Amino acid sequence: MDEQTVITALRHHDEKALGQLIEHYGDFIQQVVLHNLPTSYERGFLHDIENRCYYQVIMTCCIDNPKLSRNIANFLNQSM
């Protein structure tokens, strides 16, 4: 799926789109989160924070945010 298709599918609550989001941006999100969690204690929250990132993207799609309407990567870069 291309980005626009993923965004549209997320707006329609398509679970496959969530899988595509994680597949395409999971490593990037994880790297950014780990960069901001310097201690092993803080890194214990990695999965929770990753899930919150995905949730924010999904909620942003659902409210038809113009920031996300073209490019998920730009949105993630601006949000993090």
d(CA 31, CA 76): 12
Structural domains of the chain, count: 1
| pLDDT-above-90 percentage for the chain | 39
To the nearest 10°, the Cα dihedral for 72, 31, 17, 51?
Answer: -110
Place of tokens 């092993």: 40
pLDDT single digits (tens) 27-66: 999 999 999 999 999 999 999 999 999 888 888 777 765 6
| Per-residue pLDDT, 56 | 86
d(CA 11, CA 5): 10
Domain extent, residue 18, equals 3-79
Quote the pTM value. 0.70
